[in-house]
Amino acid sequence: MKKIIMFASVAALGLGVAACDSAAENKMEDKAEAVEDQADAKADEMRAGETSPAMEEKADAVEAAGEAKSDAMEEKADNMDSTPQ
């Protein structure tokens, strides 16, 4: 019985460690978040300066591009640990 409990504990610990993000993955995700934050700040700055529909569209495009780039970076980060070594 003790062996079964010990084996189950080791297996659970192994699964828990496997689910953790690596330092490199966390760093990449932080960079992705910074990219999105910068794009949001730039879009907000554009909206504050001029309120024309054309400027609003440009600001939306900047925001969307930043989000797309950030999402791609996060996807790449998520795949870092799942790629076989």
Residue 44 φ/ψ, nearest 5 degrees:
-65, -40
Confidence of residue 32 (pLDDT cuts 50, 70, 90): very high
Q: Checking phi first, is residue 12 left (phi over 0); if not, alpha (psi -120 to 50) or beta?
A: alpha
This model's pTM is above 0.85: no
Range of the domain at 61: 21-82
How many C-beta neighbours within 10 Å does residue 36 have? Answer: 19
In a domain, 14, yes or no: no
- Residues 30-42 have a mean pLDDT of 96
One-letter amino acid identity for 56?
E
Q: Are the CB atoms for 25 and 70 separated by under 8 Å?
A: no
**H helices of 1-85, where?**
2-18, 23-49, 53-82
In a domain, 13, yes or no: no
- Residues 48-75 have a mean pLDDT of 93
In a domain, 55, yes or no: yes
Domain tally, the chain: 1
